[in-house]
Amino acid sequence: MDSQSQDEPLEDDTFPDWFQNVIQSIEDGSCGDTVNLTRAKLSQEMCQRLAAALLKTSYPLKTLTLARNHIGPEDMKALAPALGKLQSLQSLSLSANNFGPEEMKVLAPALEKLQSLQSLDLSDNQIRPEGMRALAPALKNLKSLQSLSLRYNQIGSEGMKALAPALENLKSLQSLDLSGNSIGPEGMKALAPALGQLQSLQSLSLARNHIGPEGMKALAPALEQLKSLQSLSLSGNDFGPEGMKALAPSLGKLQNLQSLDLDSCGITVLTTDFLHTEHIPNIRFGFDPIAYPPPSIITFGRPAIYAYLRDVQRGHELLTRSRLVFIGDGGVGKTTLKTALLMLHNKSKHRTKLLKKVQGAAKAAFKHYTEADFRHWIDKDLAQQDGFFDKHFLDARDVTGDDFLTCSKQELKDTIFCSESRGQAVKRVQRKLADVHRFLLAEDVTLHLSQRRPFQLLLQIPHVWTEGVHVDEWRISKTHHEDDPTSTTRFDLWDFAGQLEFFPAHQLFMASHMAVYILVFDASKGFKHAHARIRVWLDLLEACLPYNGDGAADAIQVRLVATKTDCAREDLGLQHLLQTLQRRVGKRFDLGSRCFATRYNEPDGGDLTALDAELWALRKQGVPYFQVPKAYMAIKEGVEKLARHKEIDVKGKDRDLILGFLQDAGVVRRIPSDKDECVVKPVTWLSKLMASILHPLHGLKMARAADDSSDRTFLPGVEGSEAASVLSCRDVPVPVERGQGLLPFLASFGVCFPLDGQRYTFPALLPRARVHGKIVERLNARADAHGAGIAGRRLQCLDEQQFLPPTCWPAVVKGLFYVVKELNGDALHLSKGIFVAKMSDNSYLATCVTDVKHRRALDVVAVGADSFLLHLAMLVVVDALHKQFPSLRLQKRCLLVAGADDHEREHHVLLKRAITTRAVHTAVKSTSEALEGLAAPAGVTPQLHQLYVRRLEQSKLVFRDRDSGSLRLVYFHEHWLALLTDPELVKEKNIPEARQTAKMWQLFADVEREIFFLSDAEMNNLATRCGMKDTRKLDGLGLIHWLKSNCPKGSNLPYLSPDSDLEPLRAAAEGALGERHNICVNTREWQRLFQKENA
């Protein structure tokens, strides 16, 4: 052995037995014509021995696979001469070997000699432009080549310029894969002419190359020449609607094309050019949020899309933003602002008529005012101070609305609202009460209408609760916009109630295309309050609207309007507030160029005129891409004039498509339980019905069943007769003859669900109630002192400044309640934010909403049970949230019983013990693997397992493969899949112990501080390294927030998270700032302590 030369191969007895057998089979020909050494972990000595065997054998070899062996430069020097001798070789795979330019320079001369080669796989290497320059001349001579894969090789645009001349010679090529090579627009311009020469090509993949619209314009003419093409993948190229417009006509000429992949191409709009693709059987769009055609059309699939676009082709109108939607908290002045806008375009006579209408509505509302309503009105609206009524107006405790309207001015002053207090706050409230009283009882409102300050009277209008949604029509005459002869137009004004209880009804009527959202906020409470409340409403709006992600073709138009600016406690800085919010919401919302403020005591009402001009411009602009068939618009206008119980004439069009379009337009609302019927003008009737039910003061009151003898069980609900009684008191006509059908009708819209028998519960109206102490004792009795019997996960927004939508609780608890009933469990407690059920004598399932660090989180806990119950519960919860709020980005955390030295410990609202949470890195199972082998784990009942599999199949997280019929994961829902816990679907890596020392938290704070104080150049470098696309106007706080809210590729933990080892951040920081920078030093120290604590 010692005397053996280094260049001579080692003796066979020094190699593993399996390798010796392979060598022997090559030399004696027993391997046939195929050798497969994938993942063989070939050493340099093994490569030398393999080369000797290939040189020695006299048997023709046709297929050689050496994939995934990390063959280095020295290994290639040994192998290359042997490869060049394999004149019969037809297929060679060298994928995933980490080949670089040096290996290519050695390999290229050998490849050039393989004139019989038909298939060459060099994918997943690092060829780069330099390597391609060496490889291209060799490829040029492989004229028998039929399949070439060069995917994921970092070839770039310069490398493509070298490859293009070689491709022109490969006339026999049938399959070409160039995906993942960062070709870019310039590279595509060089490559496209060569691609057009490949007349035999049947499969072409150019996925994930960032070619953009310019690259697509270069590629499209070349694709026209590929008449034999059957499969084309263009996913991940972000060429958008502009690129699709260029591509579509070329696709129309590829009559043999069977499969087209357009996933993640930024295609959010499908124009009539898309009709060219009608002959292609399989087209995949994946996760692109298609905004046009409308979602009602997209839901029915490609046939419906083509039918709609054909109708557009016959004649269309541009959709205009004809709907103004007023949103914001209750009592901020939405209805007053709406009235001011209506007054703005009316002359004195019409203003008087309008104010008479407002006066009548206010008087009608006051007649229903109870003493509780009065207390709420004075505390919340007039005094803006809780307890003010009880403290200062003792004599008015029994006053009702009728009392207020019938008393004289003197009685009002001397008796009812007389107060012994002499403070300015009391006098201010008394003046407001006198103004309201005078306005409500005035015979002629024009006496109160000042010519100089026409809007001042609006300050006297009392706050009247909007129930659900109130709709007005706003007509603008030609004379108002004299520069525009087409200025006669109409707006529909939708005024949404601001109380939290009405949210379940609101989400039925949100629509982004036709609407401009006027978000009204109270400026009197300062910057932080305004910022927080605006964010809540933007989050709700984003969750309710059907189009998600920054790739939306058209941003949602929102305009901010500040009210009560005269009462502001500080200089709010409206422009600064607007800029801060716009940076936070990104491209999803367009908040305009300014924040408007109302001042009704001024002649022009503050910024009313400017707001009016802004709304007019948006109305005139319309939605550029949204074309509506004239036939559809004619049907819409006809339906708007219908009375109740009439058949809708769809004029020969598909009934489902028309009704879906009308629902998007807000003209009808289909009844989920009966698709053949719908509610006409739903926003004026259906929303009022739901709002009357959900009214916080006058709506339904959830109560325990009369026959519930257990003081431990708390399951509040109502029967149909109670709901019908409430509607009768609110003068709302019931849509069915008997009250028994009312609750099932409402349940079809998701606002309630059945408890048992005739009783239903409304999650939005559930009262707050503590879980009975005995139930809490049982929960903790099933877990030891260390929490071994508790399996729990927490879901919270990945963005620490974002809230879970307030309507997430109804969606979640409804799904879990059905699961409990199906498994014959017993629901024990159901209140606002808490649900507990007993699944067996030894197991419980619970979920609760928890407020953590000023944001809402959802905890799912299985106590004393096998972990499979948690898997089922998490599947139900994640599926419910995904279906209702697909734009949410959530983080999953593991619930752990806290130790005494845990830095962040909290008292759990349900378990009544100290807990802490840690994020868990979760890897999703490969989407290429079938899920048919989902066997029931040991100890899991068949009923539980069958329910789990059924729920999984019904979710949107998996799909049934058309070819094989097997069940597979939907890979573009990877974010949602990572929230699951089932080991058959995901792998939760390194669930940590609940320990983080004070030293670690200090280091983490140091890293944050160092990021905050980076220079502008350093900040941009680090942000770019981490993948931040838009670094304009970036500051320290903005970068820290982004790092805490965005995850590196392949991870579900943010760059800056105390639950991770900060490795992606360290690598990015070292590349951008150098390894000696304090950020790098601190992250390395963090990693050392992190590994020590979690060893």
Residues 951-984: pLDDT tens digits?
A: 988 887 887 765 566 677 776 677 888 888 888 8
Residue 7 has what pLDDT?
45
User: What whole-number distance in Å separates Cα of residue 245 and Cα of residue 292?
Assistant: 14
Residue 551 has what pLDDT?
44
Q: Do residues 21 and 149 share a domain? A: yes
Question: Which has more confidence, 811 or 416?
Answer: 811
Residue 371 falls in which region: left (phi positive, over 0), alpha (psi -120 to 50) or beta? alpha
139 is a domain residue: yes
Residue numbers of the domain that contains 732: 666-765
Instruction: Return the top range by mean pLDDT from 595-599, 638-642, 677-681, 879-883.
Output: 595-599
CATH number at 73 reads 3.80.10.10
534 is a domain residue: yes
Residue 927 has what pLDDT?
60
Q: pLDDT for 33-59, tens place per residue?
A: 899 998 888 888 899 999 999 988 888
Confidence of residue 933 (pLDDT cuts 50, 70, 90): low
Which stretch of 14-28, 151-165, 338-352, 384-398 has the lowest confidence by average pLDDT? Answer: 338-352
266 is a domain residue: no
User: What whole-number distance in Å separates Cα of residue 549 and Cα of residue 287?
Assistant: 10
Q: Do residues 341 and 462 share a domain? A: yes
Confidence of residue 676 (pLDDT cuts 50, 70, 90): low
Q: Are 125 and 101 spatial neighbours (Cβ–Cβ below 8 Å)?
A: no
> What's the Cα-to-Cα distance from 907 to each of 776, 778, 847, 904, rounded to whole Å?
14, 18, 15, 10
Residue 1034 has pLDDT above 70, yes or no: yes
Residue 489 has what pLDDT?
61
262 is a domain residue: no
Residue 508 has what pLDDT?
58
Which stretch of 150-154, 163-167, 214-218, 407-411 has the lowest confidence by average pLDDT? Answer: 407-411
Q: What is the DSSP letter of 650?
A: -
Question: Which has more confidence, 892 or 507?
Answer: 892
Q: Are 37 and 21 spatial neighbours (Cβ–Cβ below 8 Å)?
A: no
Confidence of residue 464 (pLDDT cuts 50, 70, 90): low
Residue 437 has pLDDT above 90, yes or no: no
Q: Do residues 959 and 1010 share a domain? A: no
Q: Do residues 487 and 347 share a domain? A: yes
Q: pLDDT for 591-649, tens place per residue?
A: 998 999 998 888 888 898 899 888 888 877 766 667 777 776 676 666 666 655 556 66
User: If you average pLDDT over residues 718-724, what whole number do you get?
Assistant: 83
Q: Do residues 953 and 1042 share a domain? A: no
Q: Do residues 594 and 703 share a domain? A: no
Q: pLDDT for 200-226, tens place per residue?
A: 999 999 988 989 899 999 999 999 999
Q: Do residues 479 and 406 share a domain? A: yes
934 is a domain residue: yes
Q: Which of 193, 216, 244 is the endpoint of a domain?
A: 244
Q: Which of 565, 594, 621 is the endpoint of a domain?
A: 621
Residue 738 has what pLDDT?
46
Q: Do residues 415 and 335 share a domain? A: yes
Q: pLDDT for 315-352, tens place per residue?
A: 877 666 677 888 888 778 888 888 888 887 666 666 67
Q: Do residues 681 and 820 share a domain? A: no
Round to the nearest angstrom and report the end-to-end CA distance of the chain. Answer: 43
DSSP track, 184-223 = HHHHHHHHHHHHTT-TT--EEE--S---HHHHHHHHHHHH
Residue 460 has pLDDT above 70, yes or no: no
Residue 5 has what pLDDT?
39
Q: What is the DSSP letter of 714?
A: B
> What's the Cα-to-Cα distance from 662 to each of 14, 669, 747, 748, 749, rounded to whole Å?
77, 8, 22, 19, 17
Question: Which has more confidence, 591 or 1061?
Answer: 591
CB atoms within 10 A of CB 966: 13
Q: Do residues 974 and 1059 share a domain? A: no
User: What whole-number distance in Å separates Cα of residue 995 and Cα of residue 918?
Assistant: 9
254 is a domain residue: no
User: What whole-number distance in Å separates Cα of residue 977 and Cα of residue 970?
Assistant: 8
Which stretch of 333-342, 741-750, 767-776 has the lowest confidence by average pLDDT? Answer: 741-750
User: If you average pLDDT over residues 70-77, what whole number do you get?
Assistant: 84
The phi, psi pair for 49, rounded to 5°, reads: -70, -40
> What's the Cα-to-Cα distance from 321 to each of 481, 553, 591, 619, rounded to whole Å?
17, 15, 15, 5
Q: Do residues 462 and 577 share a domain? A: yes
CATH number at 906 reads 3.30.310.200
User: If you average pLDDT over residues 239-251, what whole number do you get?
Assistant: 91
Q: pLDDT for 110-143, tens place per residue?
A: 999 999 999 999 998 889 999 999 999 999 989 9
Q: Do residues 898 and 1042 share a domain? A: no
Q: Which of 228, 244, 260 is the endpoint of a domain?
A: 244
Residue 158 has what pLDDT?
92
Residue 1032 has pLDDT above 80, yes or no: no
Question: Which has more confidence, 55 or 703?
Answer: 55
Count of domains forming the chain: 5
CATH number at 484 reads 3.40.50.300
Task: Work out whether the CA dihedral 420, 423, 427, 430 comes out positive or negative.
Answer: negative
Residue 930 has what pLDDT?
61
Query: Percentage of the chain surpassing pLDDT 70?
Result: 78
1071 is a domain residue: yes
User: What whole-number distance in Å separates Cα of residue 486 and Cα of residue 48?
Assistant: 83
Residue 878 has pLDDT above 60, yes or no: yes
Q: pLDDT for 999-1023, tens place per residue?
A: 777 788 888 888 888 888 888 888 8
* Beta bridge pairs of residue 283: 260
Residue 10 has pLDDT above 80, yes or no: no
CB atoms within 10 A of CB 834: 23
Residue 1067 has pLDDT above 60, yes or no: yes
Residue-wise burial string across 702-711, b where 16 or more C-beta atoms lie within 10 A, e elsewhere: beeeeeeeee
Residue 975 has what pLDDT?
80
Q: Is the peptide bond before 293 cis (omega within 30 degrees of 0)?
A: yes
Q: What is the average pLDDT value for the chain, to the nearest integer?
A: 80
User: What whole-number distance in Å separates Cα of residue 962 and Cα of residue 765?
Assistant: 44
Q: How many helices (H) and strands (E) does the chain have?
A: 37, 35
465 is a domain residue: yes
Residue 696 has what pLDDT?
61
Q: Give the pair of three-digit tokens for residue 751.
A: 């606002």
Residue 11 has pLDDT above 80, yes or no: no
